[in-house]
Structure 1
Amino acid sequence: MSLYTGLVSSVLFPLHEKLKKHDTLAIRKSLEQSQWLSADQLHDLQAKRLSAFVENIYRHVPYYRQVMEERQLTPADIQNAGDLRKLPFLSKNLIREHFEALKSDIAGPLNRFNTGGSSGQPLIFLLGNERVSHDVAEKWRATRWWGVDIGDREIVAWGSPIELGAQDKIRLARDKLFRSELIPAFDMTREKLLGFIERIRQVKPAMLFGYPSVFDLLAKTAEQNDIRMDNLGIRVAFVTSERLYPYQRENISRVFGCPVANGYGGRDAGFIAHECPQGGMHLSFEDIVVEIVDPQGTPLPPGQSGEIVVTHLGTSEFPFVRYRTGDIAALSDKACGCGRGLPMLESIEGRSTDFVVAADGTMMHGLALIYILRDMEGVDAFKITQESLQHTHVDLVVKTGLTDKMTQRVQDGFKARLGQGVDISVCEVSEIPAEKSGKYRYVVSKVAS
């Protein structure tokens, strides 16, 4: 660690967080101790936090006081993760309907946030200092697993209008002090991509942080233009906010000459899991209770895929209790070679809309279609939209023009998976635009949602 990084991580950033009334430093230190506890000790710790959390929201959050009274429950009835099943799921629609009643009557200052709305209408919700402190601490702990600390040079590829809109003089000065530089993930033209690549070469960051789709695109652009990126001393590419596909991991790692660390979570659900250098996708177990449920809401055992449901214990001011994320994953019952007691996710399979449904009702991951296009020579970019069981549309960006042979290959491959009677329309486009959030979605199913 350089002297400057040490100054930032131990003095300047903690001071910054203290001035913002965040408890980030104390939480991170606590997390770095608790991560080495045994599984039984961690479950006891989580249960104590959950009990205090439920007591708090019962007393101070009108919505949950009403829900529990209607079910004839008291805080004493919910003492561990299994007891959470006595409470109803929380959906985006319920948050919209009971927005005011979800505010704690003892909440401090709350700020409005929203999701990107990539799978439908954006969700507006509130975050307080408690939640922000825990989220920052969780990310901080995870990046330190990879030998990167606050104050090390960092390039962030992000596209949220919230982050970009906050780039005022104070924010810019702060980022410069902490040696973090943002490249906006919008309008990724060839000229801008080459400019971003040159900036990364100039900065020589210790860490890349952002969307996997953007770093995959930067990697491909660098390779196509014979620009070497694996000699910059980058220690890790930390990717989040989108599904990380295996081919993206391989491409980013090869071109930038560094390991890729996956981080899973969302602005609404928080930082749910982070990958360690041994490959374990560790849950933020001290802060978040994770359930995996089937379509009927029944909890599933480790190894079985279902929807991720989270209860964030750092949200007492605007609670997220049994919140349905719409994402699909499976829990693991294995121990990680890193020695941390934190439980893990076995797999993260993406949003429900990342799946497609065949004409006979069979559900499959979008990768079944993606790999047809990934293997096609001349295809630079694509987007698959399943409009209905009988119609799927494919947009292609091709190097030398879309040929009848290419169209036929796409149609044959897709029909083999979706059904011979399914209409597959193929269209050549000049570019695949990002979502409003700056993310790229390769598969969108209006049937699986």
Structure 2
Amino acid sequence: MSDLYGRFVSSVLFPLQERLKHHDTVRIRRDMEDSQWWPRARIEALQLTRLKAFLGDVGRHVPYYRDLFAQNRFDPEALRSVQDLQVLPFLTKKVIRDNSDALRSDKAVGLARFNTGGSSGEPLIFFIGTERVTHDVAAKWRATRWWDVDIGDPEVVIWGSPIELGTQDKIRLIRDALMRTRLLPAFEMSDAKVEGFIDTIRQMRPAMLFGYPSAISHIAAYAEGKGIRLDDLGVKVVFVTSERLYDHQRELISRLFACPVANGYGGRDAGFIAHQCPAGSMHITAEDIVVEIIDSEGRVLPPGQSGEIVVTHLATRDYPFIRYRTGDVGVLGEQACSCGRGLPILSEIQGRSTDFVIAADGTVMHGLALIYVLRDIPGVASFKIVQESLGLTTVYVVPGPAFRPDDPGRIVSGLQRRLGESVVIDVKQVDVLPAEASGKFRYVVSRVAASVPAGR
């Protein structure tokens, strides 16, 4: 249970903030807390009702889909099941890039521009409206409350996105202080930085941590190596997201902080897709999101089979994500969860991993510190960064139509600012990115970090 101030934030202060933003977050969260216990068939009926209304609105107001529906003689009112969605083609990053304006609803106002690429290595510009933000916040809020913590409980966020880190103005700092949230930048993980993070965590004694599993496990490993206790702080849960959570990371974090680790899966593009409940299952936010698993030929696979995760987000009518190919690999669960929730389960998630890299002076940094350099260059269609040694990093770049002659120089200077001016940055322009021996793609690979003992 939250303390008195935490309950005030959760029941008064945060709802007031959301109302001022014209977000209907409280009602949506309450509806979700009701519908999560519905039988699967009732949840699927809700999905179908929402899907028909969503597609009907999109077909009337979004130029790209108005034309697409006409070409395919697709009538949303004729849908008899969620599976009928399969007649529509997939939405890919290329389709979004090629139809950026046509994907915007003619009713949309106040859209926020996002530039993402993250671990997929493929930069993408898209837009998010108020409805999408509201529903994602409500879904995250619901999942947070599964773990006996709530908005307003002390929280430390270990994150690396410049969207968050660039908004640390006075208003944001005041808001975070009122909400009892502290944001720590995860880009640089030098010993001095990690010691500072540990000091902050110990001083704040948060009820929960939130961030990258690689960053939080790095902090835990450092603390263990230095004999610093983290199990006496009263942390109730560690929420991790944005990367694949490995078993050794879960074990280390759980042991050092003496609490469970709750995995989350989603992204700025695809939305808040799934979150782990205390019984261990990754529940899909089925009220808002339809998940399909497809094979290499684009055929939909049944539960229990591994394939690419495809997402339709029903709260994106301002800038629709319909059958969006995430590039991640996963498996839909076949069994219901013992927790009693009727929400479907994503039983396995693969393909999300970001390495650390090490600068020439020994500074350990999150791999996203390099990813952001590449993804902010419009001419780069996709990329892969391989840190061969402390003195050499190879960057494989697939040039896009907007690639400029000075872009390789921008890549070199950007990476040298992070890794060190003495580091050789070898930019190789290729038609296809090289894969790992396993066949899977990793977009930041550090052969240096891989040889550094945990806690270094």
Q: Normalising by the residue count of structure 1, what TM-score does the alignment of the two structures yield? A: 0.80
Aligned residue in 1 for 2:183: 182
Structure 1 residue 80 displacement after superposition: 2.8
Cα distance, 1:382 vs. partner?
12
Deviation at 1:393, TM superposition (A): 7.0
Query: Superposition pairs for residues 216-255 of structure 1, below 5 Å?
Result: 216-255=217-256
Secondary structure (helix, strand or coil) at the match of 1:102 reads coil
Q: Is the 8 A contact 2:157 2:209 kept in 1?
A: yes
Aligned match of 1:20: 21
Partner of 2:351, secondary structure, is: strand
- Residue 235 of structure 2 aligns to a residue whose secondary structure is coil
Length, aligned pairs only: 373
Superposed displacement of residue 445, structure 1? 3.4
Q: Deviations over 1:379-410 (max 9, x none)?
A: x9999xxxxxxxx978589xxxxxxxxxxxxx
The residue that corresponds to 2:59 in the other structure is 58
Query: Quick one: distance in 1 between partners of 2:337 and 2:144?
Result: 17
Give the residue type in structure 2 aligned to 1:233. G
Tell whether 2:116 aligns with 1:115: yes
RMSD: 2.2
Q: Is the 8 A contact 1:158 1:210 kept in 2?
A: yes
Alignment of 1:372-411 (within 5 A): none
The alpha-carbon distance between structure 1 residues 57 and 194, as it changes in their structure 2 partners (threshold 3 A), is same
1:72 Cα deviation after fit:
1.2
2:348 alignment partner, SS class: strand
Q: 1:291 aligned to 2:285?
A: no
Distance 1:283 1:336 in 2: 12
| 1:79 positional shift | 4.2
CA contact (8 A) 1:114 1:268 kept: no
The alpha carbon displacement at 1:214 in A equals: 0.5
The residue type equivalent to 1:105 in the other structure is D
Could you tell me whether the CA contact under 8 Å between 1:51 and 1:79 is conserved in 2?
no
For residue 165 of structure 2, what is the aligned residue in structure 1?
A: 164
Give the superposition deviation at 1:448.
4.2
**Partner of residue 35, structure 1:** 36
In 2, distance between residues paired with 1:204 and 1:140? 21
Q: Which whole-Å deviations, capped at 9, do the CAs of 1:152-189 have from their partners, x for residues lacking one?
A: 00000000000000111111100000000000011111
Partner Cα separation in structure 1 for residue 170 and residue 366 of structure 2: 38
Within 2, Cα distance between the matches of 1:10 and 1:141? 14
| CA distance, structure 2, for counterparts of residue 258 and residue 53 of structure 1 | 40
- Unpaired runs of 5+ residues, structure 2, are 356-363, 368-384, 391-417, 420-433, 442-456
Q: Once the two structures are aligned, what percentage of the paired residues are identical?
A: 58
CA contact (8 A) 1:51 1:80 kept: no
CA contact (8 A) 1:235 1:258 kept: yes
- Change in Cα spacing, 1:228 to 1:448, as seen in structure 2 (3 Å) is closer
The one-letter amino acid paired with 2:177 is K
Contact conserved, 2:114 with 2:127, CA < 8 A, in 1?
yes
Residue pair 2:189, 2:366 contacting (<8 A) in 1 also: no
Task: Give the secondary structure class of the aligned counterpart of 2:316.
Answer: coil
User: Is residue 192 from structure 1 mapped to residue 182 from structure 2 by the alignment?
Assistant: no
CA deviation string 1:233-269 (max 9, x = no partner): 0000000011000000000000111100000011100
- Aligned residues of 1:164 and 1:184 also touching (Cα < 8 A): yes
For 1:133 and 1:245, how far apart are their aligned partners in 2? 30
Measured in 2, the distance between the counterparts of 1:231 and 1:23 equals: 38
Where does residue 260 of structure 1 map in the other structure? 261
What are the Cα deviations for residues 404-448 of structure 1, in whole angstroms up to 9, with x where unaligned? Answer: xxxxxxxxxxxxxxxxxxxxxxxxxxxx97xxxxxxxxxx93664
Q: 1:160 to 1:124 in 2, by over 3 A?
A: same
**Partner Cα separation in structure 2 for residue 394 and residue 191 of structure 1:** 23
Q: Distance in 2 between matches of 1:190 and 1:396?
A: 20
1:127 deviation in Å? 0.5
Q: Distance in 2 between matches of 1:149 and 1:114?
A: 29
Cα 1:198–1:382 shift into 2, 3 Å: closer
**Distance in 2, Cα, partners of 1:395 & 1:245:** 23
Whether the 8 Å CA contact 2:188–2:366 is kept in 1: the answer is no
Distance in 2, matches of 1:161 and 1:80, equals 40
Which residue, out of 402, 426, 435, partners 1:445? 435
Change (3 A) 1:190 1:39: same
State yes or no: 1:204 paired with 2:205: yes
Matching residue of 1:49? 50
Alpha-carbon distance between aligned partners in 2 of 1:41 and 1:136, rounded to the nearest angstrom: 23
Partner of 1:134: 135
Contact 1:209-1:238 at 8 Å conserved across structures: yes
Partner residue of 1:213?
Answer: 214
2:310 pairs with 1:309: yes
Q: Work out whether residues 207 and 237 of structure 2, in 8 Å CA contact, stay in contact via their aligned partners in 1.
A: yes
CA deviation after TM superposition for structure 1 residue 81, in Å? 1.7
Aligned residues of 2:189 and 2:365 also touching (Cα < 8 A): no
CA contact (8 A) 1:54 1:78 kept: no
- Conservation of the 8 A alpha-carbon contact between 2:215 and 2:366: no
Report how far residue 277 of structure 1 moved: 0.4
Separation in 2, partners of 1:381, 1:337 = 39
Residues 29-54 of structure 1, C-alpha deviation per residue, up to 9 Å, x if partnerless? 00000000000110001110101001
SS in 1 for 2:32: helix
CA deviations on 1:4-58 (whole Å, 9 max, x unpaired) are 0111001110000110111111110000000000001100011101010011101
2:114/2:126 contact within 8 Å kept: yes
Match of 1:422 in 2: none
C-alpha distance in structure 2 between counterparts of 1:393 and 1:133, whole Å? 38
The code of the aligned residue for 1:445 comes to A
**Amino acid in the other structure paired with 2:100:** F
Relative to structure 1, the CA distance from residue 395 to residue 201 in structure 2 (aligned partners, 3 Å threshold; closer, same or farther) is: farther
**Quick one: distance in 1 between partners of 2:214 and 2:132?**
27
Moved over 6 A (4+): 380-383
Deviation, 1:78, is 3.0
Contact persistence 2:187–2:365 (CA under 8 A)? no
